[in-house]
Amino acid sequence: MRRGGKRMNTARSLREKFARGETAFGVWAALPDAFAAELMCVGGVDYICVDQQHGLVDYREMVEMLRAIEGRRSAVPVTRVPVNQAWIIGKVLDAGMQGVVVPMVSNRAEAAAAVAACRYSPRGNRSFGPVRASMVMNSRDVAVMGDSVLCFVMVETREGVEKVDEIASTPGLDGIYVGPADLALGLGLQPDLDKEEPEHVAAVERILAACKKHSIVPGIQCGNGKAARKQADRGFRFVTFTKDSSLLPAAVGKEVAAILGTDTGVKQTSQKGYT
């Protein structure tokens, strides 16, 4: 989508939405398929997050998925990197990704490392080599390419929850993304998305409060639209409502149930899943 000749599916469009106090809703892409990613770029989907941590996506496939998402000119392409390492973060941004979600961040030093990997000097230590990003962003200005991309970190451990206030205060950090399943594991609970144990609920509230205190964007993974709407009403502003690897079996299960005259198919409303 373009307005006034400018491409709209960039990090800037998400930043503008956040600045207005609105929520961005998105989809997780775990399948290594550009066409599948392209198909999910429908109206109302603000971003597609290509999952390189738990998804089956390697770098080459990520680039093809990125190009497919860009071509639709609607959803903003971001990616969850497999690990908090500067060269990995820099490489996906050099390809043209508009933001990163960095897993397993448990303290301010780790958060600062993630931010530094996204920003050029003097704000960070990202190496200059925007092989494709400069073309996508139509600029080689380090302020444009480095400062515009989004940096979210995931708080998923007990240490991270205890230190969430210092993490949220990290200069240059755009937001914290909650992965309920891994957070549950970090707290010694079973990994699901719809956790109701008091300790888990309190941890999520603590993360949300820290984001609000430091004026950064709170994000969270959900298993369906109903849960996503609930979390948005709660105050989350970067909300994933489904993933491709759940949609496909749910759709097939629904049709199988129709054939058999049963309701035993995989339910799309399931909150089971990973983060």
82 prior amide bond cis, ω within 30: no
Q: What torsion do the CA atoms of 165, 158, 208, 22 make, to the nearest 10 degrees? A: 110
Q: Which residues of 71-98 are buried (b: 16+ CB within 10 A; e: fewer)?
A: ebebbbbbbbbbebebebbbbbbbbbbb
Q: What is the DSSP letter of 32?
A: S
> What DSSP string describes 203-272?
HHHHHHHHHHHTT-EEEEE-SSHHHHHHHHHHT-SEEEEEEHHHHHHHHHHHHHHHHHT-S-SPPTT---
Q: At 133, is the pLDDT very low, low, confident or very high (cuts 50, 70, 90)? A: confident
To 5 degrees, how large is the angle CA 160–CA 162–CA 168? Answer: 65
| Residues annotated catalytic, as ranges | 54
CATH number of 2-260: 3.20.20.60
pLDDT at 216: 99
Per-residue pLDDT, averaged over 213-237, amounts to: 98
Q: Calculate mean pLDDT across residues 214-228.
A: 97
pTM to 2 decimals? 0.92
What confidence tens digit (pLDDT) does each residue in 69-99 have? Answer: 999 989 999 999 999 999 999 999 999 999 9
Q: What angle do CA 148, 30, 225 make, to 5 degrees?
A: 80
What is the spatial distance between Cα 178 and Cα 124, in angstroms, rounded to a whole number?
24
What average pLDDT does range 15-22 have in this prediction?
97
Alpha carbon distance 61, 133 (integer Å): 17
Determine the pLDDT at residue 23: 99
Flag whether pLDDT at 265 surpasses 60.
Answer: no
